[in-house]
Structure 1
Amino acid sequence: MPGSRWFHAALFAMPGLLLAAAGAAHPGVLDAATARWWTVLHVVLLPVFPLPAAAQWLLLASSPPWLRWPGRVAAFGFAAFYGGLDAVAGIAAGTVTDVQHGVTPVVGSLFEVGDLLGHLGAGCFLAASVLIVLAAIARAGRRAWPGAVFLLVASVSFLDSHIFWPRGVLTMVGVAVGMSLLHHAGSAAPARRS
């Protein structure tokens, strides 16, 4: 079954589902009691956060170049900037809080930098998602609409929900469903001619 469209669609859902699971396990606040888990979780997430960008990159594969390349640049921007958020507001802030036995002004400064990186990354994710949706609708027509709605709503929610429980977890499930449905719709549709 590894060659089936549904199997591949399930693979496109995996990045969002992994991040939803991580969001469910993410501490609600960073303090001395949660600092170690906060740090460990963000170390584990380092290789996971780029996966949605990889899925976006692949969803753009059959798109016309004028959508494909800006979309791939935006997906790369998400991976780079959101990885920066993970390193700064995740690993560094958790480590500093653990070592200093509580949140200090240094942690506040790390969160300021991390928030900027996160907003840039989430904006890039939204931009790539918009281009994916345009390409999918051009290719698959109405079959792309369900996935388009899920992905766009989730991408807008991601701007401020990130992966935090509960909205961020639902956002990542929406990303998973949207990417999966868009891949399935695109793989079922013959390419449209202009």
Structure 2
Amino acid sequence: MALVTAAPLLLALAGLVHPRHLTGATAEHWATLHIFLLPLFPFLVLGLVVPLWGRPRRDVEGVLTVVSWAGCLCFAAYYSGLDAVAGISAGTVVEHGVHGAAGRLFYVGDELGRAGVYGLAVASSATCAVLWRRHGVRVLPGAVVLLASCWSFVDSHIFWPRGVLTMLGFAVAFALLTLAASRFAEDVRPGWLG
């Protein structure tokens, strides 16, 4: 459970100290925080990868698993681009007094981030479809929270309050999906079949 919830919980904590606005006074903190966040954001997808771990089957579930992996890769690449451009680069140029460039960096970063979150939403939908096929209605609470979190993430980043709540939503969703999948595994162990 810790493996799938660690990244969103750490991102929620980071959201509590993330400056609300990029100014000359917050620029150094802004850039430094995004340097630390750069390797953390890609780990958000562990909540989708772990429940699908293993070689994909050669049926619809296999296709959906590959779609999920592709969406996870899209998220990791493009959302890292957001952090690099609108986080590290924008913070650095504002810190050095080049305020005019920040607007363009934010625009490019927002586009990269949006593409990444759309990839995450595709991966989330595909993962939920696979888990639904495997485990049935047990995955519904986690799936609902997960898809709501994806919707919120499109424009909330990790900014307080909504971004922090979005990250907590991912943690809850990943925990619910992992629990639903593990309960099913316990139910089908030979000792439980009587």
TM-score, normalised with respect to structure 2: 0.89
- Once the two structures are TM-superposed, the CA of residue 59 in structure 1 deviates from its matched residue by 2.6
- Once the two structures are TM-superposed, the CA of residue 10 in structure 1 deviates from its matched residue by 2.8
Instruction: Pick which of 49-58 and 123-132 moved more.
Output: 49-58
Question: Partner residue of 1:84?
Answer: 81
Within 5 Å, which residues of 2 pair with 1:1-194? Answer: 9-61=1-53, 64-100=61-97, 104-190=99-185
- Once the two structures are TM-superposed, the CA of residue 150 in structure 1 deviates from its matched residue by 1.1
Q: Distance in 1 between matches of 2:175 and 2:126?
A: 16
For structure 2, the 5+ residue unaligned runs are: 189-194
8 Å contact kept, 2:4–2:50: no
Question: Partner residue of 1:5?
Answer: none
- Once the two structures are TM-superposed, the CA of residue 30 in structure 1 deviates from its matched residue by 0.1
User: Cα RMSD between the aligned structures?
Assistant: 1.7
Number of corresponding residues: 182
8 Å contact kept, 1:60–1:72: no
- Once the two structures are TM-superposed, the CA of residue 35 in structure 1 deviates from its matched residue by 0.3
For structure 1, the 5+ residue unaligned runs are: 1-8
Q: Distance in 1 between matches of 2:173 and 2:88?
A: 29
Q: Distance in 2 between matches of 1:70 and 1:11?
A: 22
- Once the two structures are TM-superposed, the CA of residue 68 in structure 1 deviates from its matched residue by 0.6
Q: In structure 1, give the amino acid aligned to 2:127.
A: I
Instruction: Pick which of 183-192 and 32-41 moved more.
Output: 183-192
**SS where residue 189 of structure 1 aligns?**
helix
Q: Which protein has the larger Cα radius of gyration, Structure 1 or Structure 2?
A: 2
The runs of 4+ residues in structure 1 deviating greater than 3 Å are: none
TM-score, normalised with respect to structure 1: 0.89
